[in-house]
Amino acid sequence: MRTTIHLPDDLLVEANERAARTGRSLSDVIADAVRSSFAWAAAEERGPVKLPTFAGGRVHPAVDLDDTAALLELTERVD
């Protein structure tokens, strides 16, 4: 859809620079900025995400979080 908007000069310059730097059109850069703004506002309206916690709170001493192969093996093991 075609429409006319008025942007402050400094914002238009920054949007044009970003478009040139990323090889995208000015319309795409502005559309992405508006989408991002709407997504941010929606997240603020939802409030903080509550993550479940479990008793203990510690990693088992035998688990090395830097060893992804071992972690994968532990998660796939069927006891």
pLDDT value at residue 23: 97
- The pLDDT tens digits of the residues spanning 26-63 come to 999 999 999 999 998 888 888 888 888 777 767 777 77
Percent of the chain with pLDDT over 70: 96
Give the number of domains in the chain.
1
pLDDT at residue 79 is higher than 70: no
First to last CA, the chain: 58
CB 17 within 8 A of CB 29: no
Quick one: how far is CA 6 from the chain centroid?
A: 28
What is the span of the domain harbouring residue 73? 1-79
Tokens 């008025």, located at residue: 6
Q: How far, in Å, CA of 32 to CA of 19, rounded? A: 11
- pTM comes to 0.56
